[in-house]
Chains A and B, each alone.
Chain A
């Protein structure tokens, strides 16, 4: 089945550690996205990529980094510079303007 796979589903991290969240899609979509979801704040855009080897900062990119070396993959690294990393992270992709397909999400908890 086509879709978006995020891993891990749950992740615990100690303060000061970097952590990488995986996002893979087999939908042949060009554009991929990372959002952060916090209660009462909706979804906030971290980074997005319209094409391989290119990506743009979203509204809350500080403390995060991404790469887009393959069309299918768009990993997100949460660095130690991110002041409040505990959150639910959602990856999405699209073949057209705005019609996003989402993964099941990764919940990161910083201990």
Chain B
């Protein structure tokens, strides 16, 4: 079955620091990969997605993620975080074992940015 691992559960950074959140998935074939964000008091929204093509994907608010197939990874990055990036971030995958409609999420990473 498809699964997603996020190893950082809680990350605290100062403003302007660089961010990298890890995400690893379990399936070895073709996958679709996503990062979602949940700002305090708001509902989950899509940050960026990878289906195919350029493995470096750019999303909203200056975020990007790199798909590295050999490492089964899809890490989220941002060169310089802001206080407004404080949120919980979820990596997600869908893949043939579950069907392309079954979306599996990781456990999430809470990011706290200190002004």
Residues of A participating in the B interface, judged by any CB pair closer than 8 Å: 31, 33, 35, 40-45, 48, 50, 56, 58-59, 90, 92, 94, 97-100, 102-105
Query: In the complex the two chains form, is B45's CB within 8 Å of A41's CB?
Result: no
Q: List 23 A-B contacts (CB under 8 A).
A: A40-B108, A41-B107, A42-B6, A42-B105, A43-B44, A43-B105, A45-B103, A45-B104, A59-B104, A92-B44, A94-B103, A97-B32, A97-B51, A97-B100, A98-B32, A98-B49, A98-B94, A98-B103, A99-B46, A100-B36, A100-B44, A100-B46, A102-B45
Closest CB pairs A-B (n = 7): A42-B107, A43-B105, A102-B44, A97-B100, A98-B94, A102-B43, A42-B108
CB-based nearest B residue for A42: B107
In the bound complex, residues from chain A placing their C-beta under 8 Å from that of B108 are: 40, 42-43
Chain B CB count within 10 A is highest, among A33, A99, A104, for A99
Main DSSP-derived SS at the B contact region: strand
Tell me, in angstroms, the Cα distance from A66 to B63 when the chains sit together: 36
Tell me, in angstroms, the Cα distance from A35 to B105 when the chains sit together: 10
Query: In the complex the two chains form, is B100's CB within 8 Å of A98's CB?
Result: yes
Residues of B participating in the A interface, judged by any CB pair closer than 8 Å: 1, 6, 9, 32, 34, 36, 43-46, 49, 51, 90, 92-94, 99-108
Q: Shortest beta-carbon distance, B39 to chain A, in Å?
A: 12
Query: In the complex the two chains form, is B44's CB within 8 Å of A97's CB?
Result: no
In the bound complex, residues from chain A placing their C-beta under 8 Å from that of B102 are: 45, 48, 56, 58
Q: Known A-B contacts: A40-B108, A41-B107, A97-B51. Give 8 more (CB < 8 A).
A: A31-B101, A42-B90, A59-B1, A98-B32, A98-B92, A100-B44, A102-B45, A103-B43
Tell me, in angstroms, the Cα distance from A44 to B49 when the chains sit together: 20
Tell me, in angstroms, the Cα distance from A42 to B77 when the chains sit together: 20
